[in-house]
Structure 1
Amino acid sequence: MPLTLTDRAFTTSPIPLVTAVEARMLGIPVRTQRYIRIRRGIYAERAAYSTLTPWDRYAARVHAFARTHPDAVLCLESAAVVHGLPRFRQTRWIHVLNSARQASGRYGDVAVHASVDARDTELIGGIAVTSLVDTVVDLVRVLPPAQALAVADAAISQTQGGEACLADLRDRGERQSSSRGRARMRLVWGLADGRAESPGESVSRAVILWSGFEQPDLQRQFHYENATDRVDFFFASIGGIGESDGWQKYALGSPEAAAVKLADEKRREDRLRRHGHPFARWDLTDAWHVKPVVQALDAIHVPRVRPPSPALLATVSDRSRQVPPLPAAAPLTPTLPRVDRGSIRTTRTRTNHLRAARGSRCTGWLADAPDASHCD
């Protein structure tokens, strides 16, 4: 079954967090190697943290921030954590909305956003976040287009548990005064499709269309040999089928269940091939690299109906809003920024992505720090 927004949402931290006050009160030895500091005054067990995926580490950072700043309103990727919208790897910044400010700024790993356009907010699990509609619109304006499409599809897909309406998203975006990302937003609204059942399908569809292939039909059903089979992509001109594999559907954590799922999938594919359908497969990693998807579709002779869009395809691998992968030899605990006499001075003994992965020691993230850079 496809993952829903509820499945992806973290209304609490993915791992238990403990504050410094709680640690002193309960005698928890947070200053030993058993624990890792997520941000100033918030700790987690190192073993538990090390098992998290990059996107779940970001969720832990978001919840650590919410523990220390309970009045903050989360927005963008930070609000997406709570709403369960698709996220990719680990976002660099904790994003906070403060409409009372005159300008946006960054303090440590916190990006504070000012805006003249009002946002609806709601309280989920005790955390204030921008509404689902506002969060989607804000993300679509700033994310690389393929990722933005995955967010929009999820928000309007009933299969993924989305409750938004495309018309409402479009209307909210058009009524905002900001022109930032407006062209990108309109591109995404034109491509968004509530039939998409996973972020992998959405990113794959972007690659398919921007590579010049014909428009596929989504979730087409076939009835052969007393079975009903639904496919991700159907290319009508050749009767071809494309499948974007999400490996969680194979229950790989259970060898017995995985064997059954893989056997069922093999029988399904053989059944469709017997009835004359060329078959192509890839996964999300292939879609990020573009070329494997193109090669798979070329192999079954899906026609090109328009020239490719190299500029759009180049954005598929854009990771500018994410923490770069850690070098193999890098330690788990990054060097923290240092605060001295009210100013923020970042130590340079580690790379920027190590600092962003851990969090800021800045206690005055809403203060008018003179060296804070404006948000992009």
Structure 2
Amino acid sequence: MEMRSTILTALPSTLDDPVRLFHGVAVERGDWAALGPLERRQLVVRARAARLQAHGVVSHRSAAALWGLPEHGRTDWRLHVIDPRTTKTHAGRGVVRHVGSIDERDVVLLGGIRITSMLRTVVDVARTSTFEHAVVVLDHVLHVGALDRSVLEHALTACAGRRGVRQASAALDFADAAAESPGESISRVTVERLGAPAPVLQHRFDTDRGVFRVDFWWPDAGVIGEFDGRVKYDDRDVLWHEKRREDALRRASRVRGFARWGMAEAGDPASLGALLVAAGLPIGRGWAQRR
């Protein structure tokens, strides 16, 4: 991955319209606006790492950004490093120094920066983040084939007894390579917490308008679920195509209900539960208490 270091400066006052990243470093507003969320995270990590004066290996969510792994929740703009010399994890000014040993086999040079390997990064993130975040990351690496499940299982077994390993192992057991986006991963976690049956992912339907694949399918209930993160409703052609696709799926003989939701509902049990119940999916009784 390459990033334009020329847009960084130690003298923000020399920029026409700067966006301050942190003390002493800024970027032109136009350049910042042209970057996507992942590119912004990567830029800040690289900028902070370049100014890091003490020893440390870029790790955790910072290394995850450089590896291009998906985020969940509020963006963490701090630089995370593992520092074998420290005896206690310390969060300072824009830098979090994690206690822990690190084998040189777990360190790689990426774009001139020493960071934890993909495997070590995923394990660290899965151990120290929320269950949802762990599932989002694990679903992703399994889906793109970046890591094998057996390799991850072995790495977590080697970490037995360390903080967060139980959660990471549970997230790996739950992870599914068929999930294609963070929104689908978060939706799966919410469905599980609602006490609903586990869905079949990426099921194909042969309809009167062709073969279509759906995000979620509950065969016993005859319910299709679709996460809407891919649809651009301001495009009339896309909207019309999606409507005809949904109509064709609804006409399929086995389909009795159809639920569609976005990111706002994906992580909200009350909202997603109401949509699934309305579509005809039986879920646990406890979901109503969350409304």
Task: Give, in whole Å, the separation in 1 of the partners of 2:286 and 2:215.
Answer: 22
Q: How does 1:197-212 map to 2 (within 5 A)?
A: 197-212=180-195
AA partner of residue 19 (structure 1): T
Q: Does 1:295 align with 2:274?
A: yes
Distance in 1, Cα, partners of 2:145 & 2:114: 20
TM-score (norm 2): 0.87
Alignment partners' CA distance in 2, 1:233 and 1:18: 44
Task: Give the drift of 1:200.
Answer: 0.4
- In the alignment, residue 300 of structure 1 is paired with which amino acid? A
CA shift in 2, pair 1:163/1:54, >3 Å: closer
Of Structure 1 and Structure 2, the greater helix share is in: 2
Correspondence for 2:156 among 159, 170, 173: 173
In terms of mean alpha carbon deviation, does 263-272 or 87-96 score higher? 87-96
Matched, 1:116 2:101: yes
Change (3 A) 1:110 1:34: same
Q: Which has the higher contact order (CA 8 A, sep 6+)?
A: 1
Sequence identity (%): 31
- Could you tell me which of 84, 93, 99 is aligned with 1:99? 84
Q: Confirm or deny that 1:135 pairs with 2:121.
A: yes
Deviation at 1:18, TM superposition (A): 2.0
RMSD: 2.7
Shift of 1:55: 5.8
Could you report, residue by residue, the CA deviation over 1:32-53 in whole angstroms, capped at 9, with x for unpaired residues?
6622332333221135446767
The structure-2 alpha-carbon separation of the partners of 1:172 and 1:308, relative to structure 1 and needing over 3 Å to count, comes to: farther
* Contiguous gaps of at least 5 residues in structure 1: 1-10, 24-28, 314-376
Shift of 1:72: 4.5
Q: TM-score, normalised by structure 1?
A: 0.68
* Residues 153 and 192 in structure 1, CA contact (< 8 A), matched pair in contact too: yes
Q: Which residue of 1 aligns with 2:71?
A: 87
Question: What is the match of residue 13 of structure 2?
Answer: 30
CA contact (8 A) 1:73 1:129 kept: yes
Kindly indicate whether residue 211 of structure 2 is the aligned counterpart of residue 234 of structure 1.
no
CA distance in 1, matches of 2:107, 2:240: 46
Q: CA deviation at 1:226?
A: 5.2
Q: Which amino acid aligns with 1:86?
A: P
**AA paired with 1:84?**
G
Query: 1:94-126: per-residue Cα shift (whole Å, max 9, x none)?
Result: 101122333321211100112135361212222
User: Match of 1:110, as an amino acid?
Assistant: V
Q: Is residue 19 from structure 1 mapped to residue 2 from structure 2 by the alignment? A: no
C-alpha distance in structure 1 between counterparts of 2:287 and 2:260, whole Å: 22
Mapping of residues 45-60 of structure 1, within 5 Å: 45-49=28-32, 57-60=40-43
